[in-house]
Structure 1
Amino acid sequence: MRRALAPALLALSQIAAAQEPGVADRIQASIDLRERWQWLTRDIATPPDWDADGRRFHYRKTVEGGYAFVDVARDGGDKRPAFDAVALARALATLRGKPVDPLRLPFDAFDYADNRTAIVAQIEDDRVRCTLVQAVCTVVPPGPQPRPRGFGVVRDLRVPADNHPRLSPDKTLEALAVDHNLVVRAAGGGKEVWRSQDGSAGDFYDPETIAWSPDGRHLAVYRVRPGYPRMVTRVVSSPPGKVQPELVEQLYPKPGDAVDQERPVLFAVADGRRTDVADTLFPNPYHLSELTWRRDGRSVAFDYLRRGFGQARTIAVDAETGAAHVAASDDPATFVFRDRIFGHDVGGLGREIVQASERDGWRHLYLVDAATGKVKRRITKGSWTVRDIARVDDDRRRIWFSAGGYVPGQDPYYKQWFRVDFDGRNLTRLTHADATHELRFSPDMTRYVDVYSRTDLPETTELHDAADGRLIETLEQGDITRLTAAGFRPPERFTAKGRDGRTDIYGLVVRPRDFDPAKRYPVIENIYAGPHDSFVPKAFWPFGGFAGGDKVMGMQQLADLGFVVVQIDGIGTANRSKAFHDVAWKNLDDSGFPDRIAWIKALAARDPAVDATRVGIYGGSAGGQSTLNALLFHPDFYKAGVAYAGCFDNRMDKIDWNEQWLGWPVDQSYLDASGVVHAGKLQGKLMLVVGEQDSNVDPASTMQVADALIQAGKTFDLLVIPNGEHSAGRSSGPVPYAMKRQYDFFLRSLRGEGVADWNGPTSPRP
């Protein structure tokens, strides 16, 4: 019997071997899809940059083979190339020592300089200036640099502070630090007038924080007690051009570490009299903002964020007495969202503050009496959320802003734009298309350029009169004819109810280009559930990061291998109500999974081709953490995952992001979300990918998960990218190795396919 079966088994193995190169070829075709499609759109423009005088603006748009920059007059009509791209490419090639394609210049944006005879752009780590009359490019030497701070809260004392003398308003005196003390002397290094006497290395006056009052009578400065200088040490195993490994160190404060303690101090310039400001109103600061004097010089103000992110205040201090009072405050029951704190001192006089707050459950604008800290009146209200605040006009007492959820029945993540008066009257909607809008206003607020789109509607770029919204000119109309002819189909927008059966959850569905409704397809979720934003694309442009969680192209590449790929914004992400967002507070292990699972099940109930019994998941950074947690906490639903550069244990990650969402001090909520603590719960198939030189998330976080999985006897795949940074493996790059490995992993784990040997002589090469 065994002898009879042997020829049949051999024949089957030969058939399988013959099929394997086909799978490899399919994977390579998916990898190559981005390059084939990326240059097929026309006239899709980015939001513009205005000149400082408001006379012209410029933007980048897609053209045959790449991009072009366009320069336009403020009233339209006069459109022309922003510069000679061919000449500029030659000049950049000379500077960089390698060819530069004029249709693919190595920058996305630029500023005109020297009366428009030159441009300045950021190219990788360099600021580059290029003259235009005769194209010559040079690197702009960096000016004085502030002392680095680890995630903004611990100064790197290995680096000297920027201690250049700060001139008084009348330019007769200057202030600086000498031997950790504050010194005032005659300008130009002249005779010393006075110096403080109590500074030391452990309690010093920071020269970078010196602030002169407008009348020159007072100085404000922060006195600093240094925090804990935690260093993360990484081994560079494969330094380019060298044989032996190297070590690098990074100042990297983590949750619970002591941060720099800053205390504002006032000095009378005439005699050096010092006034310490009592910290009664700002105890236990996580961060204090720059010291800002009111225009009349009678008080100085700063913003205070309490450790644990539970309170944000604007504190005003009397220049003569040092007495402090709360000019505005936000005191939620859960957290203040640091990225969305907004306060505008009307007229710079400390009398009124325009404040953004979620105190009623939605982010809205308020006018606050800065003398008492009490709200004078609401400016906006309703079950919708204020997003961007573009301008506050103190003279006209008017505000321009964007909002989501204002239009009933419209996707609440679409941004529409408005203006409103300080008293809440004359709320005027400026944009109307059923799409998401990005506006850029001229400096005098008389014109704006509107770039609007949806995932199924390419960008339209229009110039408008800001007074009445009148259309002046349609500047560009995105054309995707060739992209569509090549097989592109927009992702499907799908909405289903979340965990409570009431809340609408929004997402996208990407199917294979050869989708057959009679077949059954495994599902793969592209996850990024960080509470700091929402992530499902709303605008059209589909090209971007492969596993970054925010672009359609990578989802299409994966879908073409025989999957339905989805992306969802579950409860706990931003840009909806405060209650929607609060679910993430001290609850990062949730990641909106109850909503995501309900959404995918609803999709499968509607579409029999969607197989909700074979579900995979992938993501990077916070999305990597969510990917692992899907397999740990929801193994009955998620069967396979690829986790890139995950912050798997929040105690190991950077201080700012993690204390924002899990609070301070470090408590049980950190353990509840930890992939290290819960590694023994792993079911399903897991692949971990990490860059050896990740400076965003300590790469030891991945290795500690690997160790815990080994200790628990679990099997998994681990891919370490030598020299790789935080995004290693998450973009196609010149050698899309991790991309290839991810595709192979999902084919094996969810479809029973895969490439047996990537090293065979017929395997595709990048």
Structure 2
Amino acid sequence: MRKARSDVFFVLLLLLAVGSYAADTNRLVFKDKIEPHWFSNNTKFWYKNELPKGKREFILVDAAAGERKPAFDHARVAKELATKLNREIDPERLPYDEIRFSEDGKRIRLLGKDSWSFEFEQYSLTEEKVEEPERGETPREERRRGATRRRAAATSPDGKHEIVVKGDNLFLRTGDVEKQLTHDGSPSHSYARSAQRARYVEMRYEEPEDETPQAEVYWAPDSRKFVAMRTRAGAQRTVYMVESSPKTQLQPVLQSYPYAKPGDEIPILKPRLFDLESGKETALDDSLYTNPWSISDIRWGRDSSRFTFLYNQRGHQVLRIISVDAKSGEPKAIIDEKSPTFISYSGKFFCEYLDDTDELIWMSERDGWNHLYLFDYKTGGLKNQITKGEWVVRGVDRVDRETREIWLRAGGIHTEQDPYFIHYVKVSFDGKSLVKLTESNGTHEAQFSPDRKHMVVTWSRVDAAPVTELRRASDGKLVCELEKADIRLLEATGWKAPEPFVAKGRDGATDIYGIIHLPTNLNTRASYPVIESIYAGPHDSFVPKSFRPSYTQEKLTKLGFIVVQMDGMGTSNRSKKFHDVCWKNIADAGFPDRIAWIKAAASKRPYMDLERVGIYGTSAGGQSALGGLLWHPDFYKAGVSDCGCHDNRMDKIWWNEQWMGWPVGPHYDEQSNVTQAHKLQGKLLLMVGELDKNVDPASTMQVVNALIKADKDFELLVVPGGGHGMARTPYGWRRIEEFFVRHLSPSRH
């Protein structure tokens, strides 16, 4: 016992010495990223490199010739500056952050506190006043996330009419004449834009209650018809929290805010169609959109004969593009996406209308993988699948209507690589021509030239420093290598990259990918406790794939722990089957895969002690961290749960109904950490901020109540004034370190 206490005391001293480790390792890596500044003719660009000891250099690249060289003679410029300023100027530390080339490339301007113009031919330097560069001077690629957004407009396209809301009803204003159009509006069924809906469904909590009523109106191009949205109000749920230690007064303050939870009655939004010539409403058949979670992206056809909208049915198992005939009011499903589990609308959605050709590009997992499809916009017929194969589209960057090509990001397209690595691809609308623009064994990030003929690509892995290249955007051919990151100073600190590791999951066939953080002074003959850093939210994948100079997890490795991270089944960015494991099954959290992965890693690393395994996480990770102790007590012996959503009925409506389904069924209760709290065997630290507006802090307190009733020992940290994520605070992290030191007893090495 005395030896154990002395070991713990030693590590506590080490903990204090480690302190807030992240001694800015970011400043020890150079040439890891560049920002290209393209000339207007798109043939050249310059960028700046920050170098060790405060040095910097400016580089000029001729994309057409594939040449990289100093942008100018740094020494000559420094000499001329020294003469003008009457002080010494270091050519490797020119006091300017930006340069701007003249169109003919014969002159540059140095921009800083003072600005100078430098002529290359005569090496003359003159001071000048330079206007501030305009915003957006250096073009950046716009990231498309999904549907084309069209703003509602109260005024008709011809400018003659305006729709206003008074007393929850619609009025038509034409010049000085005002006419009431509807009489069925009321506070519970209003034509005013719904602040409640914005908060509940769109999660815009700060939407004001007392805003001036505005109509949500979509006019036909001919200004003869319009669609107005009417909202049936939902139930108002309010979450209350006590701010125990307000900054402005001694006494506590009661705070409240609207917050919908799974199963709540939500506001229902539906379209209504009006004809100005008849002055009447056209009745709409809503049989295809009876139970909306949301109705959005209302848009009219160019000939004003129909309008369409996106219908997301509550429960997220039906997603439709619905076209409505403006004369008859009859609806037709142009796209009718269905799933027996869920449609991942919040993370895997893309819809692009091609009005000139009456086509529609649509993202779907209907074949088991996330891909793009081309539909006939008028008939709803499938023209062809654009992308296909056992890989996934991770995002669409650009749709070129003229060349009928799509630039996209893909995962798993290089079968011999980690399927989470991002690669860039160009594909034709008909799917017959697919070009892989990147191939290096790592995850990629690309910046395209304004004319999209070239791409500056940076790729890396957690164990491979960034490399930046210039490639042709037409075929991905390498033009020239621009930079290799300089990590020598980082390596001199003893820094060690995480080790990627792959093992089979629960089925013995599916590869599970993760990383292992090892102590820098690893002794392979010693024994180290293992801690899993978990986040298993189904909306994404979470294990780092690109190079990082520092990780929070390193703080634990410096205390003598091995830290692991992996993406188990139920997380995103793999096949639909892989993702579906989470369906009505959040408590699973991929644990069978995680445990199998850790055991496989330990089988090759005997210094990993699986008798001392801990786990920690925040938010959904906090739910999983406690879940690991409750559902797998034979494996996880100690856990820290930070701000966990411990019962999915207590958390935000959209996230939980997306994965746990609607209506709320008994599976919600069965998977609750509250109802299972009596199973606790290991050591537990619960952390929560008393003012957490992301996850209701009452969720943690209900676990506390259940643990007390079950006569279980545990630790609790409630942070006055704290919000979401106490592990991110210095005090919260220190408590995590101290907790694991006490209960997993790392050894001295």
Q: TM-score by structure 1 length?
A: 0.80
Q: 1:311 to 1:74 in 2, by over 3 A?
A: farther
Q: 1:498 to 1:20 in 2, by over 3 A?
A: closer
- Equivalent residue for 2:576, pick from 555, 578, 581: 578
User: Is 1:325 aligned to residue 319 of structure 2?
Assistant: no
- Equivalent residue for 2:620, pick from 613, 619, 622: 622
Q: Which residue of 1 aligns with 2:188?
A: 202
CA RMSD of aligned residues (A): 3.5
Q: Which residue of 1 aligns with 2:105?
A: none
Aligned-partner residue type, residue 726 of structure 1: H
Q: Which residue of 2 aligns with 1:153?
A: none
- Equivalent residue for 1:413, pick from 420, 439, 443: 420
CA distance in 1, matches of 2:394, 2:224: 39
User: Is 1:219 aligned to residue 226 of structure 2?
Assistant: yes
Q: How does 1:638-717 map to 2 (within 5 A)?
A: 638-717=636-715
- Equivalent residue for 1:192, pick from 178, 188, 198: 178
Q: Which runs of 5+ in 2 are unaligned?
A: 73-94, 98-108, 112-128, 134-150, 194-213
Q: Which residue of 1 aligns with 2:735?
A: 741
Give yes or no for contact 1:47–1:439 (8 Å, CA) kept in 2.
Answer: no
Report the 3-state secondary structure (helix = DSSP H, G, I; strand = E; otherwise coil) of the residue aligned with 2:501: strand
Aligned-partner residue type, residue 339 of structure 1: S
Q: How does 1:342-741 map to 2 (within 5 A)?
A: 342-348=349-355, 351-442=358-449, 444-472=451-479, 474-543=481-550, 553-727=551-725, 729-731=726-728, 733=729, 736-741=730-735
Q: Which residue of 1 aligns with 2:155?
A: 167
Q: 1:462 to 1:657 in 2, by over 3 A?
A: same
Deviation of 1:291 (Å): 1.4
CA distance in 2, matches of 1:625, 1:712: 19
Aligned-partner residue type, residue 361 of structure 2: V
CA distance in 1, matches of 2:714, 2:380: 55
Report the 3-state secondary structure (helix = DSSP H, G, I; strand = E; otherwise coil) of the residue aligned with 1:666: coil
Q: 1:49 to 1:184 in 2, by over 3 A?
A: farther
CA distance in 2, matches of 1:66, 1:524: 38
Out of 650-659 and 410-419, give the one that drifted further.
410-419
Report the 3-state secondary structure (helix = DSSP H, G, I; strand = E; otherwise coil) of the residue aligned with 1:589: helix
CA distance in 1, matches of 2:258, 2:44: 43
Q: Which residue of 1 aligns with 2:78?
A: none
CA distance in 1, matches of 2:378, 2:152: 35
CA distance in 1, matches of 2:42, 2:312: 36
Q: 1:350 to 1:181 in 2, by over 3 A?
A: farther
Give yes or no for contact 2:560–2:746 (8 Å, CA) kept in 1.
Answer: no
- How big is each residue's C-alpha offset from its partner over 1:44-68, in whole Å with a ceiling of 9 and x where there is no partner? 2278899999899999986658999
CA distance in 2, matches of 1:389, 1:164: 25
Q: 1:212 to 1:454 in 2, by over 3 A?
A: same
User: What is the percentage of aligned positions where both structures have the same residue?
Assistant: 45
Report the 3-state secondary structure (helix = DSSP H, G, I; strand = E; otherwise coil) of the residue aligned with 2:249: coil
CA distance in 2, matches of 1:358, 1:743: 42
Q: How does 1:129-148 map to 2 (within 5 A)?
A: none
Q: How does 1:254-333 map to 2 (within 5 A)?
A: 254-333=261-340
Report the 3-state secondary structure (helix = DSSP H, G, I; strand = E; otherwise coil) of the residue aligned with 2:23: helix
Q: 1:26 to 1:134 in 2, by over 3 A?
A: farther
Q: Which runs of 5+ in 1 are unaligned?
A: 1-8, 82-102, 106-115, 119-131, 137-162, 544-552, 755-766
Deviation of 1:453 (Å): 1.0
Q: Which residue of 2 aligns with 1:33?
A: 21
CA distance in 1, matches of 2:44, 2:286: 48
Give yes or no for contact 1:179–1:199 (8 Å, CA) kept in 2.
Answer: yes
Deviation of 1:256 (Å): 0.3
Deviation of 1:648 (Å): 0.3
Aligned-partner residue type, residue 383 of structure 1: E
Give yes or no for contact 2:348–2:370 (8 Å, CA) kept in 1.
Answer: no
Deviation of 1:293 (Å): 2.0
CA distance in 1, matches of 2:535, 2:476: 36
Report the 3-state secondary structure (helix = DSSP H, G, I; strand = E; otherwise coil) of the residue aligned with 2:366: coil
Out of 329-338 and 264-273, give the one that drifted further.
264-273
Q: 1:672 to 1:192 in 2, by over 3 A?
A: same
Deviation of 1:325 (Å): 0.6
Give yes or no for contact 1:45–1:62 (8 Å, CA) kept in 2.
Answer: no
Give yes or no for contact 2:534–2:565 (8 Å, CA) kept in 1.
Answer: yes
Give yes or no for contact 1:44–1:62 (8 Å, CA) kept in 2.
Answer: no
- How big is each residue's C-alpha offset from its partner over 1:647-691, in whole Å with a ceiling of 9 and x where there is no partner? 000000000000000000111221122000100000100001111
Q: 1:488 to 1:402 in 2, by over 3 A?
A: same
CA distance in 1, matches of 2:287, 2:484: 57
Q: Which residue of 2 aligns with 1:180?
A: 168
Q: 1:520 to 1:680 in 2, by over 3 A?
A: same
Give yes or no for contact 2:153–2:216 (8 Å, CA) kept in 1.
Answer: no
Give yes or no for contact 1:49–1:440 (8 Å, CA) kept in 2.
Answer: no
Q: 1:165 to 1:564 in 2, by over 3 A?
A: closer
Give yes or no for contact 1:294–1:349 (8 Å, CA) kept in 2.
Answer: no
CA distance in 2, matches of 1:244, 1:38: 43
CA distance in 2, matches of 1:411, 1:402: 14
Give yes or no for contact 2:436–2:475 (8 Å, CA) kept in 1.
Answer: no
Aligned-partner residue type, residue 414 of structure 2: V
Deviation of 1:261 (Å): 0.7
Aligned residues: 660
- How big is each residue's C-alpha offset from its partner over 1:342-367, in whole Å with a ceiling of 9 and x where there is no partner? 34344236832111111111111111
CA distance in 2, matches of 1:625, 1:203: 38
Give yes or no for contact 1:45–1:60 (8 Å, CA) kept in 2.
Answer: no
Report the 3-state secondary structure (helix = DSSP H, G, I; strand = E; otherwise coil) of the residue aligned with 2:346: helix
Deviation of 1:628 (Å): 0.5
CA distance in 1, matches of 2:62, 2:189: 52
CA distance in 1, matches of 2:459, 2:746: 42
Report the 3-state secondary structure (helix = DSSP H, G, I; strand = E; otherwise coil) of the residue aligned with 1:581: helix
CA distance in 1, matches of 2:708, 2:36: 52
Deviation of 1:383 (Å): 1.2
Deviation of 1:527 (Å): 0.4
Q: 1:699 to 1:194 in 2, by over 3 A?
A: same
Aligned-partner residue type, residue 26 of structure 1: L
CA distance in 2, matches of 1:605, 1:568: 17
Report the 3-state secondary structure (helix = DSSP H, G, I; strand = E; otherwise coil) of the residue aligned with 2:705: helix
CA distance in 2, matches of 1:256, 1:71: 58
Aligned-partner residue type, residue 426 of structure 1: S
